[in-house]
């Protein structure tokens, strides 16, 4: 796994005034909950005060709940963990979730942080979930990406004379 190319923000991400939601899958709970804790911490560190949360059973259930939040929030973060098994089910789940989250972002004009891990084994997921000895923190990264995009949309809309929360 590589963090090569990951942008480094200068610590000035000011998300005060943004409303954000986090939707977390329960499948692979320990991994998903670690990512949720880190995503929420990243939101709080950036100044988010209005934070909504929900849980769903698995990754396939993420898009419908994410879509509902996308209608009323400035950004949404989807968190889950899909570990490859011995059947093609992994491919179907990963493709469906990714396509669903992308469609929601475009249809609702709302940034969706995709923090759904798709790994070959549990250790790869642990390495990316933001535990003390992990090499990556995908929950926090998904939150930061969603907040950054929401702030960019706010600037664009303000410059265009639109309400900051509408496209």
95 in Cβ contact with 59 (< 8 Å): no
Q: Is 147 annotated as a binding residue?
A: no
Is the pLDDT confidence value at 2 over 60?
no
Is the pLDDT confidence value at 94 over 70?
yes
Is the pLDDT confidence value at 1 over 80?
no
* pLDDT, position 162: 81
Q: Is 158 annotated as a binding residue?
A: no
* pLDDT, position 88: 85
Query: DSSP string of the chain?
Result: ---TT-----S----TT-EEEEEEE-TTHHHHHHHHHHHHHHHHHTT--EEEEEEESSGGGHHHHHHHHHTTSSEEEEEEEEE--SSTHHHHHHHHHHHHHHHHHHHHT--EEEEEEEESSHHHHHHHBT-TT-S-BHHHHHHHHHHHHHHHHHHHHHHTTS-TT--
Candidates 3.20.20.210, 3.40.50.12280, 3.40.50.960, 3.30.470.10; CATH matching 30-48+65-79+91-146: 3.40.50.960
Is the pLDDT confidence value at 114 over 70?
yes
Could you list the active site residues? 89
State mean pLDDT over 121-125. Answer: 97
Least confident of 39-53, 58-72, 86-100: 86-100
State mean pLDDT over 40-63. Answer: 97
Where is pLDDT greater, at 6 or 141? 141
Q: Indicate the pLDDT class of residue 163, thresholds 50, 70 and 90.
A: confident
Q: Is 82 annotated as a binding residue?
A: yes
Q: Is 61 annotated as a binding residue?
A: yes
State mean pLDDT over 51-80. Answer: 98
Q: Is 60 annotated as a binding residue?
A: yes
Tell me the average pLDDT of the chain.
Answer: 93
State mean pLDDT over 107-129. Answer: 98
State mean pLDDT over 71-90. Answer: 94
Domain map of the chain by residue range?
A: 30-48+65-79+91-146
């Amino acid at each position: 796994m590589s963090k090569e190319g990951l942008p480094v923000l200068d610590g000035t991400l000011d998300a005060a005034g943004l409303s954000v939601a986090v939707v977390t899958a329960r499948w692979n709970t320990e991994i998903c909950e670690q990512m949720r804790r880190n995503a929420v911490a990243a939101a709080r560190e950036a100044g988010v005060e209005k934070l909504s949360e929900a849980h769903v059973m698995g990754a396939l259930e993420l898009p419908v709940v994410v879509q509902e939040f996308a209608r009323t929030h400035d950004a949404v973060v989807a968190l889950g963990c899909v570990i490859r098994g011995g059947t093609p089910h992994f491919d179907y789940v990963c493709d469906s979730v990714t396509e669903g989250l992308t469609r929601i972002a475009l249809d609702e004009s709302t940034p969706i942080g995709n923090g759904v891990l798709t790994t070959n084994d549990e250790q790869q997921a642990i390495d990316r979930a933001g535990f003390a000895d992990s090499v990556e923190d995908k929950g926090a990264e998904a939150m930061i990406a969603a907040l950054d995009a929401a702030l960019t949309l706010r600037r664009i809309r303000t410059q265009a004379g639109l309400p900051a929360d509408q496209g």
